[in-house]
């Protein structure tokens, strides 16, 4: 039986395209560039027999590194003729590339996010004569589930509608008016409360203002245009307990085409600054068992609601672990996440029970000293601590393209927490000496 080819679109920017296009031109260009450079991490999520649609080339040397490490078979990187932030539309408008894809007859179309642009591509490919399956996306009639549950206002409305005493968010309100949001936030701050102000669907820390008690509202709330364009959530600032998953534990799930819900992994999340995700920590002891049990019970109810509503694909649920002992849902991303590649890489290296066999820490944007970094130069420098298939420990470089931004995306694997932290200390010595 012939394997159906998977065509994967690394469409990170499309997920928040309305938000990105509301930024000033320089910020917009920078966000699109960073997303383009981060997109090669998704190669680790691919099945065998895949075509990876990217906006930036990936060197043969790095492709060989990936395929030899995880034994990825029949894998090809393809770049549309005019690749920019809306990669699905770039492919849809590339008629020679569509003609090439037609030779497969039938494909599984997958992506980082199930965007409106992806569904336009889906229709274009069908019209070209291809049979196109969407095994990891909602069917077209359910595509609205992505925004309904994946926005800041959407998840808040869902939690409120459940009326479940065990599922809650920080007290707050949704506003369509920036002036009303500003007044509400100012009143809370004047009452010596802290607040968090969120645009409906921000990105990489942009669109989130974290204000502990006594902190003034920054001028950017008045000057950044997106605060005028989208709903705003203002909620109570939660003082988190950093001993519980860094204060921000997380669950990632997958709902398959049949609607079956699968919990992929639990983790603690690290932040490079307030509201800016940088990586995950997975393994025995990463989260207290009593906390994890509560998270899973909450996750079961939320995920079943998603499935019943027609959502299919990856999603996560982010929590804040308050010092008051409560678990607060902060958001839910209905797409692949900054940890999806970590999960698939670990599965490839250790099997389905990887979290029992290894301790994992990832960093998507580790800052490097300015230099002309290449995969060859950094892999040579880190050779003594790169992942070793015999010892089952070491560092995996999960993005070549980020090196040109003087940033390293890596995943560290050790036998336990102490070993993995020691590996990261060694990495810093090699790179920052």
pLDDT of residue 206: 87
Q: What is the pLDDT of residue 1?
A: 58
- Whole-number pLDDT of residue 129: 96
Q: What is the pLDDT of residue 227?
A: 96
- 316, 318, 160: which is closest to 240 by C-alpha? 318
Could you tell me if 29 and 20 are in contact, meaning their C-beta atoms sit under 8 angstroms apart? no
Per residue in 279-289, pLDDT (tens digit) is 999 999 999 99
| Percentage of residues in the chain having pLDDT higher than 90 | 95
Question: How is the chain split into domains, by residue range?
Answer: 5-137, 171-236, 245-432
**What integer pLDDT is reported at residue 274 of this predicted model?**
77
Q: Does domain 245-432 have CATH number 3.30.470.20?
A: yes
**What is the pLDDT at residue 125?**
98
* pLDDT for the residue numbered 276: 83
Each residue of 92-145: pLDDT tens digit? 999 999 999 999 999 999 999 999 999 999 999 999 999 999 999 999 999 999
pLDDT digits (tens, 9 = 90+) for 318-332: 999 999 999 999 999
The CATH number of 171-236 is which of 3.30.1490.20, 3.40.50.300, 3.40.50.720, 1.10.150.120? Answer: 3.30.1490.20
Please report how many Cα atoms fall inside a 13 Å half-sphere around the Cα of residue 227, on the Cβ side.
Answer: 19
Taking only the tens place, the pLDDT of each residue in 152-161 is 999 999 999 9
Percent of the chain at pLDDT above 70?
A: 100
- Find, among 69, 91, 72, 88, the residue nearest to 80 by Cα: 91
Q: Give the Cα separation of 325 and 303 in Å (integer).
A: 23
Strand ranges, E, within 26-105 = 50-53, 75-78
| Parts of the chain with a pLDDT under 50 | none
Joined tokens for residue 394: 């070491």
Q: What does pLDDT average to over the chain?
A: 96
Distance, CA of 315 to CA of 80 (rounded, Å): 27
pLDDT at 420 (0 to 100) = 98
Residues 384, 386, 387, 388: is their CA dihedral positive or negative? negative
Return the structure tokens found at 156. 């808040």
Q: pLDDT digits over 1-39, tens only?
A: 578 999 999 999 999 999 999 999 999 999 999 999 999
Angle at 313 between CA 308 and CA 319, to 5 degrees: 80
């Amino acid at each position: 039986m012939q394997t159906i080819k998977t065509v994967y679109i690394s469409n990170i920017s499309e997920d928040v395209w309305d938000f990105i296009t509301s930024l000033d031109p320089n910020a917009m260009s920078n966000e699109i560039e960073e997303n383009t450079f981060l997109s090669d991490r998704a190669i680790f999520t691919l099945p065998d027999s895949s075509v990876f649609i990217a906006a930036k080339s990936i060197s043969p040397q790095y492709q060989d590194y990936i395929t030899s490490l995880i034994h990825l078979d029949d894998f090809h990187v393809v770049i549309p003729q005019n690749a920019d932030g809306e990669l699905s539309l770039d492919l849809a408008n590339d008629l020679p590339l569509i003609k090439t894809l037609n030779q497969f007859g039938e494909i599984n179309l997958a992506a980082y996010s199930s965007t409106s642009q992806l569904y336009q591509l889906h229709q274009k490919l069908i019209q070209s004569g291809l049979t196109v399956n969407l095994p990891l996306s909602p069917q077209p009639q359910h595509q609205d589930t992505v925004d309904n549950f994946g926005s800041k206002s959407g998840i808040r409305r869902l939690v409120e509608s459940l009326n479940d005493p065990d599922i809650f968010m920080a007290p707050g309100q949704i506003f369509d008016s920036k002036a009303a949001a500003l007044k509400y936030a100012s009143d809370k701050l004047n009452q010596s409360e802290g607040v968090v102000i969120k645009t409906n669907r921000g990105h990489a820390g942009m669109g989130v203002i974290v204000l502990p008690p006594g902190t003034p509202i920054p001028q950017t709330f008045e000057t950044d245009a997106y605060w005028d364009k989208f709903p705003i959530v203002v909620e109570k600032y939660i003082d988190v307990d950093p001993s519980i998953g860094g204060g921000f534990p997380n669950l990632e799930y997958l709902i398959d085409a049949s609607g079956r819900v699968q919990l992929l992994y639990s983790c603690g999340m690290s932040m490079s600054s307030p509201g800016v995700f940088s990586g995950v920590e997975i393994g025995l002891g990463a989260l207290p068992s009593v906390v994890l049990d509560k998270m899973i019970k909450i996750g079961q109810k939320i995920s079943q609601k998603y499935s019943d509503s027609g959502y299919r694909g990856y999603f996560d649920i982010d929590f804040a672990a308050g010092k008051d002992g409560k678990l607060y849902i902060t958001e839910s991303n209905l797409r692949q996440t900054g940890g999806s590649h970590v999960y698939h890489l670990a599965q490839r290296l250790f099997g389905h029970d990887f979290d029992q066999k290894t301790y994992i820490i990832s960093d998507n944007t580790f800052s490097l000293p300015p230099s002309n970094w290449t995969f060859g130069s950094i892999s040579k420098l880190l050779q003594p601590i790169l992942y070793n298939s015999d010892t089952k420990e070491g560092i995996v470089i999960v993005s070549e393209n980020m090196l040109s931004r003087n940033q390293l995306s890596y995943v560290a694997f050790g036998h336990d927490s102490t070993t993995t932290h020691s590996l990261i200390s060694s990495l810093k010595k090699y790179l920052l000496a």
